[in-house]
Chains A and B, each alone.
Chain A
Amino acid sequence: MSEIKKASMRDAYGKTLAELSVINKDIVVLDADLSKSTRTNLCADKFPDRFFNVGIAEQNMIGIAAGLAAAGKTVFASSFAVFAPGRCFDQMRLSVAQPSLNVKVVATHGGLTVGEDGASHQAIEDLALASVLPGFHVVVPADAVETAQVIRTAANIYGPFYIRLSRIDLPIVYQNDFQFILGKASLLCQGKDVTIIAIGVMIVAALNAAEQLQSENISCRVLNMSTLKPIDEQAIIAAARETGAIVTAEEHQENGGLGSMVARIVTRNKPVPMSFVAVKDSFGESGKPDELLKKYGLTASDIVREVYSVISRK
């Protein structure tokens, strides 16, 4: 997998937004003084009249987004994931989710792989915060190709979205003809002994783990559960029934993330041994992304270890 080409999800976001804005005149873009980082500037430069930089004020940004959306606009509001939803959870709750307004919160710099900026900037709680809000769609694309698709989907489907992107360039997993479907897991690797359900940065780790396990005669199914909400219950139930064991992998706190969502569905429908590769109730710190993933147990070898654990409990 290491030979695979990498690409920026953030660039894919900004470019897609600019493309969509050509046709969809109702798209309005907001940013909170991070447009060069989130890449909303790629759209803002082309459509300055439909871009509002609200300064360093994320709560106000979400409220403004709600007001624009109530007047018929399709609003993309961007910041870093620590600030949205981190800084503006209450605004996302009462100004966006409760009235079910057409606001797309697209946060970049999700997870530990923010790197050297350290704990203050590493959002590993954002998916729990967004997922608990009724009506919010929550999506974590796995690469730049999927990011473009997810942004197009969010623009075309009414209602609140939270979309989490990474700061770092991620390996390209999908071909250009890939078609993202909201609420559908994508099967990356078929297998019969265990299923690895992963999101975002952990997709490539999951594929690497599956490759290694294949050489050890363990057949892994790998699912990209990019839509956390509404989650693909059928794919999870099928994985439990057909492979009998599940490992989840996410760059997020174990509490309230992908693992807990999958566990809820597995428990209700087809209990099987499970294990969770996630951050274990701690904050991050400064370091290179790969160093951090290793230190906090988010690597292919961590997934391999947990696969052996669940298989032993079958």
Chain B
Amino acid sequence: MTIGDQIIPFSPVPDTELSAIAKQLRRDIVTMISTAGSGHPGGSLSAVEIITALYFKIMRHCPSEPGWIERDRFILSKGHAAPALYAALAESGYFPVSELATLRKLGSRLQGHADRTATPGVEMSSGSLGQGLSFGVGTALAAGLNNKKYRVYVLIGGGECNEGQVWEAAMSAYHFKLDNMVAFIDHNELQLDGTNHDIMNIEPLGEKWSAFGWHTIEIDGHNFNEILSSLEEAKNIKGQPTAIVAHTIKGKGISYMENKVEFHGKAPNPEETKKALQELA
């Protein structure tokens, strides 16, 4: 909020509330994708705890002033997980929660993939995989040039690590010693056509990030304690960026979606939606 010209950043919630918020984001995600009739539930649900921790605990941001110059930046490189981001933005106050029902509809501010020009709080347009980390490097370099203290968080999919540009960007973040940036890899082990292992093996993923010069931490991406402690650790790393390889479950939280590649890019039907919301009650 703002009082006069003064920015009052979003107040972090107690750790004990994070699980309940994550569950609410999951309900929002399922409901909005079901209402839209299309979208990407699997990779949205796997990222929920990471996004919840960032928007409700870690980042300095101000929902009523999305362009606040001092804000920490979150860049969703895996743009198909936009529903997870939209849920976090709505629940933290960037726009009304009711607007989530407009996802993917003509004229909506909530485009099928993240769109910088459309949605308050969305830092970058994404959806063509591989581009977000480079944008993050530019954002982190600008912090140095502009003498700003903000931190940059980029969320990349595990499958997205197939894209060569990710590694160009990884190389450059280390080269430029960007200790103000963190890359989360939402490593749910599935991509559109099947498992990472079958389609294009990205292992050993943690060792790859280490080899590219990043301080690398491997965590359970659904465990808030591990997410929060890894982010605290990252803040104390100097002279190099931090990669957090978050082991996650695609479709996490909904029994029939978990680890099912079919729900990469398919909306639940009304019956499935009902079941999902019962599980998330």
Contacts and interface: CB of A to CB of B under 8 A. Distances in A.
A63 B152 CA distance: 15
Interface string A262-296: 00000000000000000000000000000000000
Interface stretch (A49-57, A231-239, A244-252): A49-57
Highest count of chain A CB atoms <10 Å: which of B132, B135, B164: B135
A166 interface: no
B145 interface: yes
Contacts of A90: 128, 131
Interface stretch (B32-40, B166-174, B216-224, B255-263): B166-174
Contact of A55 (B117, B136, B171): B171
- Majority secondary structure, A binding face: helix
Nearest to A99: B116
A71 B138 contact: yes
A63 B133 contact: yes
Contact of B124 (A68, A73, A95): A95
B127 A67 contact: no
Nearest to B77: A63
A17 B130 CA distance: 30
A32 to B, nearest CB: 10
Contact of B165 (A50, A63, A66, A67): A63
Contacts of A299: none
B125 interface: yes
A28 B171 CA distance: 20
A57 B175 CA distance: 13
Nearest to B126: A94
Given A63-B165, A99-B117, A72 B135 contact: no
A73 B169 contact: no
A95 B117 contact: no
B128 A64 contact: no
B191 interface: no
B58 interface: no
Contacts of A67: 124, 134-142
A68 B127 contact: no
Interface string A67-109: 1111111000000000000000011011100111000000000
A71 B139 contact: yes
Contacts of A253: none
Nearest to A73: B142
Contacts of B49: none
Interface of A: 28, 49-50, 52, 54-55, 57, 59-73, 90-91, 93-95, 98-100
